[in-house]
Amino acid sequence: MSGSSHIQPITDLNSLQFEIDRLYDKKEEIEQTLSQNLVYLQKDYPHMIRRTIFKKAGYNETSPVLQTILLLPKVQELLSKLSEKLSAKIGAFLLRWFDKLTQ
């Protein structure tokens, strides 16, 4: 975050307004960061899931057999549907969590 984390003591209405403005700016910055991260996650989620699953299973994603299997239309369709559902659930969770943080 770009702002200083040092909080000035609130001694009058001007310093209170300054602190409110500072916190509002910080909130806006956090909202923007979360929004960008959510967009990135939704865009790249299928690839991240696929790599995670195959790494944990001990498969090398670059193996010819695995590449052949992953290129099968039915497998791609299933992985796409799975990643879309997971992405939607994670997105909904993050939005609910974000709403709670901003209340």
pLDDT tens per residue across span 49-66: 767 766 665 655 566 776
**Total-model pTM:** 0.44
Determine if residue 9 is left, alpha or beta; phi over 0 gives left, psi from -120 to 50 gives alpha, anything else beta.
beta
Please, which residues have CB within 8 angstroms of residue 60's CB and are 6 or more apart in sequence? 54, 66
**Where are the strands (E) in the chain, listed by range?**
none
Residue ranges per structural domain of the chain: 13-102
What integer pLDDT is reported at residue 47 of this predicted model? 72
Rg (alpha carbons) of the chain, rounded to whole number: 22
Whether pLDDT at 70 is above 80: no
